[in-house]
Structure 1
Amino acid sequence: MMNRIFSRSSYAFTIATCLCASMIISGCSSSATTESTDNEAETKTGSVAAIDELPPESPEASFEPPVFEANAEKLLASRLPIEQTRAGWIRLFDGHTLFGWVIGGNANFRVEDETIVADQGENCLLTTSTQWSDYELELQFQCDEETNSGVFVRTTLDPQDVTTDCYEVNIAPPSNPFPTGGVVQRTKGETFDTDPEKWHTMNILCDGSTLRVTIDGTVTCELDDATRPTTGYIGLQHRDGRVAFKDIQLRPLGLKNLLADGLEGWTVREGMEGECRIDDDGHLVVDGGKQQLETEAVFGDFVMLADYKMDDPKSNSGLFFRAIPGDEMMGYECQVSNELIDGNPLQPADCGAGGIFRRQDARVVAGEPKRWNSILLVAEGNHFATWVNGLQVTDIVDTRKADENPRRGLRLEPGSIIVQGHDKTTQATYRQIAVAEKVAAEGGE
């Protein structure tokens, strides 16, 4: 299946990801889709400028758009343990492709030995295609002694002023006014000496007005007034010298389990044969046929984490969002299905766990029967992204004309969340459906 991630700026790369079954072969396999045009990721435009100061002179060079090839075995090996995903942890980088990332300029960002590397080109960012508000970010980095790089959090696509548009956690030598571990133009912090022969672990906590940076277990700085901006992308900077990043993980904060009080706050639709009940373990069980369980509250932009278990490989459920309140499953559907075609994880039988039904199939079926699985969904404006067991499986922009009904067009208005019982084969158990509403991005990005 060919997946093109977003590209942007006056010099923007188009990234192709070639996913091949069980072993790497020439060419690409494409998974069955309901609407083929909906499975092509859309394009965003914008620019990433020099951030904290004028960029250094860069050699006149251009770099070929990187193409990535990864089989199902490699992708599935990058999933996280359920103990981590149950707490919300996901991988932003799968170790093999830049799916879910955007190269914002003329620099040679690439994947080598399961790391993201850049060492040539202009001052620019590689950013996530998804925006985040409150979260814990952890990654490993390695840099040369004179490297000038950074990790940008809550950043806009084209940050012009680091005091308003982003927070730049610097990676720079001790001679820099803001050495490694400091936040550029905000606080120098405690100087951290990097070793070019070692990997260092950076942890960044963004929680409301608190921003804390920890490197190798040592807190290098902490802000208590991180109120502008409050949401944005995550960016990895190439500026000068070689820098490498790996094991990039994130955990959203503020999730509240909508099942904490059983079915309080939910409505079971009358006249349907299926059943929704809370079992002795406090888990939601959906079985017996077609049914929908709907929230009384409505949600617009949000992060949702759901843990599900289905023993039958053919069992089918779904999580509808921005649904028309009180209507019958009229919303976007995040698919809950582990079924494969011919045993091939790259061939979902019915959109695949985490796929957005009739919009984009999951690039790989990362859920499995007879075990607990986690789905993390981000809905922000017309952009949706999902992770299953920590691995990103969809990344889509809905460019259709606006319509009240998401089955017909783009719906931005808040709507209910619906848990679906699809048919008599459905027997799905959910132990959490947790939601955190997202903060609107400054400037409308």
Structure 2
Amino acid sequence: MKTCLTFLAAVTLASPLFAAPAAETATGWTTLFNGKTLKGWNRINGTANYVVKDGTIVGTTSKGSPNSFLCTDKKYSDFELEYEIKIHDKRLNSGVQFRSKHFGGRVEGRVNGPQCEAENTEIKGGGESGYIFAEATKYYWLVPNDKRTPHKHFKDGEWNHFRIKAVGPRIQTWVNGELVCDLTNEEFYKEYPKGYIALQVHSVGNNGPFSVSWKNIRIREMGKSN
């Protein structure tokens, strides 16, 4: 089937959402991280270290490790996801997987699926935070090269607020209130309609250790999940 792909970039929102997460509210938001333990999460792939520190999840690279992922036990389909992320070293990039799985990718057993990129603007080729990378799949970037315009919405060395809205084949992302990505890909959605949320610690070879942190992770489901 012919791929349907539309894209919109660099649009400023009038009222970005920066509300603090709640355990469960009347509006349907659920906290995925309680600030105390990693209950409900499971590391898949790699040997990066994930710990809870000062109410945040801190992921630290491990020499020689491939990409590591801290995955939710639960799978999600249609949702809005919000979180804050800080990358502590400008040489590291990271991201958050969603609707992902750990089978059927280019390498069997490796976490694969859509990832919302996060990277410092100073990294080589930087400024692509919020664009959708298709981790360990045949698709590579879901956003075409000519549409993946570098930007300065990500604040290096600081906390950054991300929002992902995935409804059917349409995926939208915001970085610090700025709409970065609005795409629809029917072919990709058929392969990845539902899956884990996962926090990535990227491989760094024998460099590092480098760290990345997350906090205020919450989700509002719009469809069935298990």
Q: Same fold judged by TM-score > 0.5?
A: yes
User: Which residue does the alignment assign to 1:254?
Assistant: 28
Partner Cα separation in structure 1 for residue 116 and residue 28 of structure 2: 21
For the residues of structure 2 that align with 1:351 and 1:329, how far apart are their CA atoms? Answer: 24
Out of 24, 42, 51, which is 1:267 matched to? 42
1:354 aligned onto 2:130 = yes
Instruction: State the distance in 2 between where 1:351 and 1:41 align.
Output: 21
Cα RMSD after superposing both structures: 3.3
TM-score (norm 2): 0.72
The whole-number CA distance in structure 1 between the counterparts of 2:14 and 2:89 is 22
Q: Indicate how the Cα distance of structure 1 residues 423 and 311 shifts in structure 2: closer, same or farther if over 3 A, else same.
A: same
**Equivalent residues, number:** 193
Pair 1:41 & 2:6 matched: yes
User: How far does residue 295 in structure 1 lie from its aligned partner after superposition?
Assistant: 0.6
Structure-2 change in CA distance of 1:329 and 1:264 (3 Å): same
* Aligned residue in 1 for 2:213: 429
In the superposition, the TM-score normalised over structure 1's length comes to 0.39
The CA deviation string for residues 73-110 of structure 1, in whole angstroms up to 9 with x for no partner, is: xx7xx6899xx74317xxxxxxxxxxxxxxxxxxxxxx
Aligned twin of 1:416:
196
Structure 1 residues 432 and 397: alpha-carbon distance in aligned structure 2, compared to 1, 3 A threshold: same
Alignment match, 1:320: 97
- Residue 274 of structure 1 deviates from its aligned partner by 1.1
Equivalent position of 2:76 in the other structure: 299
Counterpart of 2:165 in structure 1: which amino acid?
V
| Distance across 2 between alignment mates of 1:351 and 1:367 | 7
> Which gives a bigger RCO, structure 1 or 2 (Cα 8 Å, sep 6+)?
2
Q: Which blocks of at least 5 consecutive residues in structure 2 are unaligned?
A: 104-108, 134-140
Structure with the higher fraction of residues in strand conformation:
2
Note if 1:287 corresponds to 2:219.
no
Partner deviation per Cα, 1:182-225 (whole Å, 9 max, x = no partner): xxxxxxxxxxxxxxxxxxxxxxxxx97xxxxxxxxxxxxxxxxx
Structure having the higher Rg: 1
- Label 1:295 to 1:392 Cα distance change in 2 as closer, same or farther (>3 A): same
Residues 418 and 393 of structure 1: CA distance in aligned 2, closer, same or farther (over 3 Å)? same
Three-state SS of the structure 2 residue aligned to 1:400 is helix
**Could you tell me how far apart the structure 1 residues matched to 2:156 and 2:61 are?**
18
Summarize the Cα distance change of 1:80–1:341 in structure 2 as closer, same or farther, 3 Å threshold.
Answer: farther
Moved over 4 A (4+): 78-81
Alignment of structure 1 residues 8-407 onto 2, 5 Å: 41=6, 85-87=17-19, 253-260=27-34, 262-269=37-44, 272-279=46-53, 281-289=54-62, 290-325=67-102, 327-340=109-122, 349-350=125-126, 352-357=128-133, 358-360=141-143, 361=148, 364-400=151-187, 403-404=190-191
Identical-pair percentage: 24
